[in-house]
Amino acid sequence: MLHIKTPKTGRARRELKKIAPKLVETGKKSLILHGTKTSNVINSVLTEIYHLKKDNAVKYTKRNDNIRPFESGGETSLEFYSLKTDCSLFVFGSHSKKRPDNLVIGRTYDHHIYDLVEVGVENFKSMHSFSYDKKFAPLIGSKPFFAFIGEGFENVEELKHIKEVLLDLFHGQVVTNLNLAGLDRVFLCTAVSSSKVFFTHCALRMKKSGTIVPRMELVEVGPSMDLVIRRHRLADESLRKQSMKTAPELKIRKEKNVSRDVIEGKIGKVYIPDQQVGSVPLPNKSKGLKRERREAKTKGEGKTHVDKKPKQQDS
């Protein structure tokens, strides 16, 4: 039996529409949570990431004993939370003797785990430890610049992965119209070695220069830490292909048969297929012929066939 369930209130309908998959996606939400045990470092890392992403992040305060992202059974809770909060990015912090100050950053596709990267946090410096002029503090929600330094980001697989994940985590939304006056933050990542990334957050100062382009000055404000890459799990190849698909109607089609000429302007060619004169079969029943025959019959039987032939040739 087909029973249709529709929401009874407009608010519920709007909420469902927000959660539904869209052709062009707006920003991803992040879920910040921690496991059985955390250290002070991890606690402050999680709170600072939450402050950086205040608009589109959800922070859970309780500890979750049954979440183990890298184990096959330990991710059901994570997927459930992702479904309930509609978050497709998660940052899971934990601390153990084997993996001190551990941070697992992961993404979900269709509320199932897509890929994971596990990093250890070292040399963490909190936002409060930096002293700077408060005028230049970046605002929440502004679109950040990204600077990745080091050839490791191109060659080493884990660094490539973490580059993509950090970009996804902090880039906010894909925007078309950007206000240039509102740019005020930079995320700097330097590949120190093939398994270590120095990550920091700086505020941007635009100073007057002679040209239209202002001179950029970076002031370190935000959390700065060393990320040591421990484990990572890339996405399944077929899942990756599926997730990278764009809608066919959004694909930009090349305009064919249009060229520009300086003198004539926009020109296009008109292609006419070959006219085959002579090989087109004529219909063997022409109206005039039929009418003639009818008239001949009705007029009289005296008329001979000879009269008709020249007329035939004419038609």
Site for other proteins in 133-172 (CB under 8 A): 143-151, 153-154, 163-164, 167-168, 171
The contact mask relative to other proteins for 251-280 (x = CB under 8 A, - = no) is ------------------------------
What does the block give as tokens for 158?
A: 């884990």
C-alpha 218/C-alpha 203 separation (Å) is 6
Grouping H, G, I as helix, E, B as strand and the rest as coil, residue 279 is coil
Member of 63, 240, 290, 311 binding other proteins (CB under 8 A):
240
Considering the complex, what minimum distance in angstroms separates the CB of residue 307 from other proteins?
52
Considering the complex, what minimum distance in angstroms separates the CB of residue 147 from other proteins?
4
Tokens 């006056």 correspond to: 181
Considering the complex, what minimum distance in angstroms separates the CB of residue 153 from other proteins?
6
**DSSP code per residue over 189-202:** EEEEETTEEEEEEE
Burial of 124 (0-12, 13-18, 19+ CB in 10 A): middle
Nearer to other proteins, 80 or 146 (CB): 146
Nearer to other proteins, 168 or 292 (CB): 168
CA distances from 10 to 20, 40, 114 (A): 15, 44, 33
CB 141 within 8 A of CB 172: yes
Nearest alpha-carbon partner for 185 in 220, 214, 209:
220
Considering the complex, what minimum distance in angstroms separates the CB of residue 156 from other proteins?
12
**Residue span binding other proteins (CB under 8 A) among the ranges 11-19, 31-39, 48-56, 91-99:** 11-19
Q: Does 112 bind other proteins (CB under 8 A)?
A: no
Residues 42-101, interacting with other proteins (CB under 8 A): 88
Residues 211-230, interacting with other proteins (CB under 8 A): 212-218, 220, 224
- Name the CA dihedral angle for 234, 238, 243, 245, rounded to a multiple of 10 degrees: 140
Residue 138 amino acid letter? P
**Residue span binding other proteins (CB under 8 A) among the ranges 6-14, 51-59, 265-273, 296-304:** 6-14
